[in-house]
Amino acid sequence: DTEVTQTPKHLVMGMTNKKSLKCEQHMGHRAMYWYKQKAKKPPELMFVYSYEKLSINESVPSRFSPECPNSSLLNLHLHALQPEDSALYLCASSQPGGDRGNANYGYTFGSGTRLTVV
Amino acid sequence: AQSVTQPDIHITVSEGASLELRCNYSYGATPYLFWYVQSPGQGLQLLLKYFSGDTLVQGIKGFEAEFKRSQSSFNLRKPSVHWSDAAEYFCAVGARTNAGKSTFGDGTTLTVKP
């Protein structure tokens, strides 16, 4: 299995809703990532989990809350979002590399969740 | 800090013509370098990567890229473009530290004319 699966593919939520995005991989990768991508822009890193521990939070607002229940799953919990948070949310995984396992050998991306906040 | 510049926002080529997409990076040491492709509404797919060794790397879908340290470049090439290659292409640099964080360029949109 060489895929990263994201659900749902599309999500529309109100500003007072609570929802979750899910990501699953079965490639044995031990690093997982959340990226946010606005139209016609490159992906922007939000969070990095390495060996199930949060290693990078790129100053993301607290209305986004990541969770890594095990080495195959990554969730992104959403609460009280703003319309400007509407975007494509991409999950990726990689095999840690480098001298201390803190580099990546290339990401495998999911197809993303298209989020619209109304 | 690492950074990537893709000088060409939009490139149009005819089907069957050759292609070169430019990428320049900034990083204090030898970086990990990647090219990704994104079709509309989809996630990104890794085309190829460079870590060390041979400076000419082969990827999927007939793409190749050449690492030139002296020019801080990692340009993507394909000898004959197919209509299905129309997409957004991102160059990325990955640090050898910092939990595998990759920084992406702004992307180049490739249009293929019949």
- pLDDT per residue over B42-92, tens digit each? 899 999 999 888 899 999 999 999 999 999 999 999 999 999 999 999 999
Give the residue from chain A lying closest to B89, CA to CA. A42
Q: Are the beta carbons of A104 and B100 separated by less than 8 Å?
A: yes
Amino acid residing at A11: L
Distance from A112 to chain B by nearest Cα, in Å?
Answer: 6
The pLDDT assigned to B100 comes to 66
The pLDDT assigned to A56 comes to 84
Q: Are the beta carbons of A102 and B99 separated by less than 8 Å?
A: yes
On chain A, the residues whose CB falls within 8 A of the CB of B98 are 56, 102
Q: Determine the Cα angle at A105 with ends A46 and A36, to 5°.
A: 20
The pLDDT assigned to A104 comes to 67
- Give how far the C-alpha of residue B37 lies from the chain's centroid of Cα atoms, to the nearest Å: 8
CA distance A78 to B88: 28
Give the residue from chain A lying closest to B87, CA to CA. A40
Contact residues, A window 51-90, toward B, CB-based 8 Å cutoff: 55-56, 90
Regions of chain A where pLDDT drops below 70: 1-2, 96-104
The pLDDT assigned to B97 comes to 63
Q: Which two structure tokens, joined as six digits, stand for B108? A: 């180049």
In this predicted model, what pLDDT tens digit does every residue of B12-36 receive, in sequence order?
A: 999 999 999 999 999 877 788 999 9
Which of B34, B43, B99 is facing A111, going by the closest CB pair?
B43
